[in-house]
């Protein structure tokens, strides 16, 4: 459904550009087609820029305090904005409409396989860049498309369970690692609540609103309401119940990577998960997290650490 929706949005944008060209050439009697085309594209780009800007404005309104080491200057702020805009354009106008990340077995697999879980309003193609990096590192991985896009978070758990079983079976492994973006981290936690930790070696979340985000109050769908937090930053009832069901063992499986300049998860400290390994970064937007090479390096490094620790434990048990 997301694939079809993003394609229709591309068609709508194309129709908008064509409409601007027609008005300028036929009604305004502009003589240059190239200029009319440039103005049409500029209008659509301006609308897309304004959408990204509105997200940053709302995130600023509900922001948490930024620790001193993570504060950025105006040049880094400009870079943050345009990097996030570019990531959003690539993801929504290229990757998600035309690509899919399915089963990606490594020729000579290293370590444990990885299941990639996308977030709200996305599909598996969000992970296209990450998938290439995992393949380069010889890490077997599968992507999954979660539908319908506006359903409750718990409704995705059966599909995640099936995907984990398939990935483990195909890889001849008893455990897998989950790498999840945004809402995908909450889906991972919902899976663990229902199925336990036996099949999961680790969970790595990127920009997940573990305690909710104020921006979800303006979203649509059951899942959006479940990701909400109130004006005083109180998590939704669903998030509170989820947190209450978790043990120290469960939280210990998690590594939460998040940005103090996230433009969707606000307050940004909501992505900090007590009991987990928390890795904070600065100057990276929400969509850009999964496409940033430095974040990808951290994810792969964490995967390797998990595999190495697991091997040490196995060696000790067999000694």
Quick one: which of 46, 104, 56 has its CA closest to 79?
56
Q: Please state the CATH superfamily assignment of the domain spanning residues 1-319 in this structure.
A: Alpha/Beta hydrolase fold, catalytic domain (3.40.50.1820)
Closest to 260 measured CA to CA, from 75, 64, 73 = 64
**How many Å apart are CA 6 and CA 15, to the nearest integer?**
14
The stretch 69-91 carries a mean pLDDT of: 96
Mean of per-residue pLDDT scores for the chain = 95
Beta bridge partners of 176: 200
Q: Is 219 exposed, middle or buried (0-12, 13-18, 19+ CB in 10 A)?
A: middle
| pLDDT per residue as tens digits for the range 267-277 | 999 999 999 99
CA distance 272 to 265: 11
Split at pLDDT 50, 70, 90, the class of 100 is very high
Q: Name 83's Cβ contacts closer than 8 Å, sequence gap at least 6.
A: 284, 285, 288
- Radius of gyration, alpha carbons of the chain: 21
Q: Does the pLDDT at position 142 exceed 90? A: yes
Given a cut of 90, whether residue 218 has pLDDT beyond it is no
C-alpha span between 52 and 86 (Å, rounded):
10
From CA 297, how far away is CA 243, in angstroms rounded?
29
Share of residues in the chain with pLDDT > 70 (%): 99
What digits encode the pLDDT tens for the residues 145-198?
Answer: 999 999 999 999 999 999 999 999 999 999 999 999 999 999 999 999 999 999
b/e map 101-116, b = 16+ CB within 10 Å = beebebeeeebbbbbb
Contact (CB, 8 A) for 33 and 20: no
Closest CA to 186 of 236, 231, 142, 220: 236
Buried b (16+ CB within 10 A) or exposed e, 127-145: bbbbbebbeebebbbbbbb
* pLDDT tens by residue, 281-316: 999 999 999 999 999 999 999 999 998 888 877 777
For residue 58, pLDDT beyond 80: yes
Per-residue confidence (pLDDT) for residue 1, from 0 to 100: 84
- What is the predicted pLDDT for the residue at 267? 97
**In the prediction, which pLDDT does 111 show?**
86
pLDDT band of 30, cuts 50, 70, 90: confident
Rounded Cα–Cα distance for residues 305 and 155 (Å): 31
pLDDT above 70: residue 319? no
Q: Residue 309: what pLDDT?
A: 85
């Amino acid at each position: 459904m997301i694939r079809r929706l993003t394609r229709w949005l591309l068609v709508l944008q194309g129709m908008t550009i064509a409409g601007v060209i027609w008005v300028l050439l036929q009604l305004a009697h502009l003589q240059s087609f190239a200029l009319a085309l440039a103005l049409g594209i500029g209008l659509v780009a301006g609308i897309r820029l304004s959408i990204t800007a509105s997200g940053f404005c709302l995130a600023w309104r509900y922001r948490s305090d930024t620790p001193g080491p993570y504060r950025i200057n105006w040049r880094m702020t400009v870079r943050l904005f345009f990097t996030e805009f570019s990531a959003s354009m690539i993801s929504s106008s290229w990757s998600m409409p035309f690509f899919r990340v399915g089963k990606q077995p490594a020729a000579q697999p290293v370590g444990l396989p990885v299941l990639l879980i996308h977030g709200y309003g996305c599909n598996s193609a969000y992970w296209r860049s990450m998938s290439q990096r995992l393949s380069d590192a010889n890490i077997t991985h599968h992507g999954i498309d979660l539908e319908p896009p506006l359903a409750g978070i718990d409704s995705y758990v059966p599909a995640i369970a099936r995907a984990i079983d398939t990935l483990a079976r195909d890889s001849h492994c008893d455990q897998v690692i989950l790498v999840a973006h945004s809402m995908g981290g909450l889906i991972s936690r919902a899976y663990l609540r229902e199925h336990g930790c036996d099949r999961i070696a680790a969970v790595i979340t990127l920009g997940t609103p573990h305690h909710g985000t104020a921006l979800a109050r303006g979203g649509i769908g059951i899942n959006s309401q479940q990701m909400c937090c109130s004006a005083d930053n109180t998590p939704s009832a669903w998030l509170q119940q989820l947190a209450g069901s978790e043990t120290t063992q469960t939280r210990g499986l998690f590594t939460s990577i998040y940005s103090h300049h996230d433009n969707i998860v606000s307050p940004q400290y909501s992505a900090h998960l007590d009991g987990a390994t928390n890795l904070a970064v600065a100057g990276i937007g929400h969509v850009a997290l999964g496409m940033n090479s430095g974040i990808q390096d951290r994810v792969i490094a964490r995967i390797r650490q998990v595999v190495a620790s697991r091997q040490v434990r196995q060696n000790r048990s067999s000694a």
